[in-house]
């Protein structure tokens, strides 16, 4: 079966994050079993009552073949190839979203680029390898719910599902190895006030005026953070966005509450909650002039940044094989979860992230085929 045929079958299975990924997991599970993998399912029911499954497929290695290992059970996986099975939703007008279409050397379809191309390449790469001859542990890992917060990978990390030494996470990077990425954090901030008739504002306290002062403080923090820079990132500092704000009930009511969403992307070596400490300091200052200033902060998401050293054997191997220097990614990935499982991690795959998540996303056929070769060489380099 060609890599294109495999991609066609993967794209035909609707695996939008809101649905169960059981069908696509069954598909990759069957493929892995045919190739001789031992598979392990990690199922759970998500917050909407939908079944989600992570799957770990491991090439079996006989105990005696594992160098330096007394017991093979629980031994670390040398190399894991990780691909998320879910996709973002597609527009109803994109009638061919689940029907892989080839045009001008490109393959179009939902997930064709992000990240079923990588999964197809990995499934094809292992078909050209005699798995039973591998000397070190090799695994394919298929995750759920990456597009809604890397939830599947986080569950694997929390469950300590396995330990790994090296991991390649499939994401569209145009086959450039990405060895570092910013963190991704979100907090909801609710500033409280006291409602009053707007004709008599002295009896109330405007939550919106208070929020405005706090937001001004956060803008100053953002400017300060620009001085702490990490080379290789664009831009090279932690960025902040307040993307949504909502407050008040009517034009003639002094507003009693104002909520806004604070999002930040932290550079490596900066703790995910560092920004919140700075925000707390800003709040303390505001309280100095406004004793009743009151707000709640609820930190909803705190994904770590990641950085794998440039001299990691995996980074070096991928740089040499692709003839491309490693770079950094600006989007959230499952890398922190794989690092939590012990792996030196690189994000890598065919297709361009700039065409992902949109109607007519595609992967260039040439990159897809090249990826098969590179993954096969990676398995041989690290596990043979």
Residues contributing to the site for Zn ion (CB under 5 A): 114-115, 171
| CB of 78 or CB of 146, closer to Zn ion | 146
Give 20 or 115: the residue with its C-beta nearer to Zn ion.
115
Give min distance, CB of 349 to Zn ion, in A: 8
Query: In degrees rounded to 5, what are phi and psi of residue 47?
Result: -70, -10
29 tagged catalytic: no
At 272, give phi and psi (nearest 5°).
-65, -30
| Min dist. Cβ of residue 134 to Zn ion (A) | 27
51: which 2 tokens? 């079944």
Taking the least distance from each CB to Zn ion, the nearer of 58 and 115 is 115
Annotated catalytic residue: which of 29, 78, 86, 171? Answer: 86
CA atoms within 13 A on the CB side of 291: 0
**Residue with smaller CB distance to Zn ion, 78 or 114:** 114
CA dist 103 → 71, 106, 359 (Å): 51, 5, 15
| Residue nearest Zn ion (C-beta atom) | 114
Choose, from 78, 114, 146, 303, the residue flagged as catalytic.
146
* Residue 105 Rama label (left phi>0; alpha psi -120 to 50; beta): left
Q: Shortest gap between Cβ of 171 and Zn ion (angstroms)? A: 5
Q: Cβ-count burial of 380 within 10 angstroms (0-12 exposed, 13-18 middle, 19+ buried)?
A: middle
Smallest gap from Cβ 112 to Zn ion, in A, equals 12
Is-contact 124 8, C-beta < 8 A? Answer: no
Those residues whose C-beta lies under 8 Å from the C-beta of residue 188, and which sit 6 or more positions away, are 259, 260, 261, 262, 297, 298, 300
User: Least distance (Å) from Zn ion to the CB of residue 35?
Assistant: 23
SS (H, E, C) 298-325: EEEEEECCEECCCCCHHHHHHHHHHCCC
> How would you class 315 by CB atoms within 10 Å of its CB: exposed for 0-12, middle for 13-18, buried for 19 or more?
buried
Task: Determine the Cα–Cα distance for residues 46 and 53; give it in Å rounded to an integer.
Answer: 10
Candidates 41, 42, 38; CA nearest to 72 is 38
CB of 34 to Zn ion, least distance (A): 26
d(Cα 32, Cα 124) in Å, to the nearest integer? 10
Least CB distance to Zn ion at residue 146 (A) = 6
Minimum CB–partner distance for residue 111 and Zn ion (Å): 9
Select 115 or 272, whichever has its Cβ closest to Zn ion: 115
28 contacts 12 by C-beta, under 8 angstroms: no
Q: Which is nearer to Zn ion, 129 or 169 (CB)?
A: 169
Alpha carbons 341 and 202: distance in angstroms, whole number: 56
* 228/352 with CB nearer Zn ion: 352
Closest CB to Zn ion among 114 and 307?
114
d(CA 8, CA 254): 57
CB-based contacts of 312, cutoff 8 Å, min separation 6: 166, 179, 344, 346
86 is catalytic: yes
Residues with a catalytic annotation lie at 86, 146
């Amino acid at each position: 079966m060609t890599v294109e045929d495999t991609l066609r079958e993967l794209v035909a299975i609707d695996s939008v994050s809101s649905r169960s990924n059981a069908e696509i997991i069954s598909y990759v599970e069957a493929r892995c079993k045919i190739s001789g993998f031992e598979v392990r399912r990690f199922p759970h029911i998500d917050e909407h009552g939908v079944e989600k499954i992570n799957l770990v497929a491991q090439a079996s290695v006989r105990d005696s073949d594992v160098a330096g290992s007394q017991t093979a059970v629980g031994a670390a996986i040398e190399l894991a190839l990780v691909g998320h099975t879910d996709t973002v939703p597609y527009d109803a007008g994109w009638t061919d979203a689940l029907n892989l279409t080839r045009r001008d050397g490109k393959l179009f379809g939902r997930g064709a680029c992000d990240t079923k191309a990588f999964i197809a390449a990995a499934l094809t790469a292992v078909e050209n390898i005699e798995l039973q001859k591998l000397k070190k542990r090799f695994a394919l890992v298929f995750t759920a719910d990456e597009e809604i917060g890397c939830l599947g990978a986080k569950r694997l990390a929390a469950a300590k599902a396995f330990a790994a030494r090296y991991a390649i996470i499939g994401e569209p990077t145009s086959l450039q190895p990405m060895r570092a990425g910013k963190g991704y954090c979100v907090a909801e901030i609710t500033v409280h006030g006291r409602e009053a008739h707007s004709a008599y504002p002295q009896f109330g306290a405007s939550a919106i005026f208070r929020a405005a002062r706090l937001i001004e403080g956060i803008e100053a923090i953002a400017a300060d953070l620009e001085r702490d820079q990490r080379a290789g990132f664009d831009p090279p500092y932690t960025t902040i966005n307040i993307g949504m704000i909502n407050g008040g009930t009517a034009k003639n009511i002094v507003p009693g509450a104002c909520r806004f969403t604070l999002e930040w992307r932290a550079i490596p070596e900066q703790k995910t909650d560092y920004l919140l400490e700075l925000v707390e300091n800003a709040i303390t200052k505001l309280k100095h002039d406004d004793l009743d200033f009151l707000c709640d902060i609820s930190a909803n998401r705190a994904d770590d940044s990641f950085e794998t050293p440039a001299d990691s054997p995996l980074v070096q191997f991928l740089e040499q094989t692709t003839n491309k220097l490693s770079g950094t990614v600006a989007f959230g990935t499952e890398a922190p979860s794989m690092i939590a499982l012990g792996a030196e991690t690189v994000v890598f795959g065919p297709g361009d992230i700039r065409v992902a998540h949109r109607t007519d996303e595609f992967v260039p056929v040439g990159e897809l085929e090249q990826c098969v070769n590179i993954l096969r060489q990676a398995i041989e380099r690290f596990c043979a």
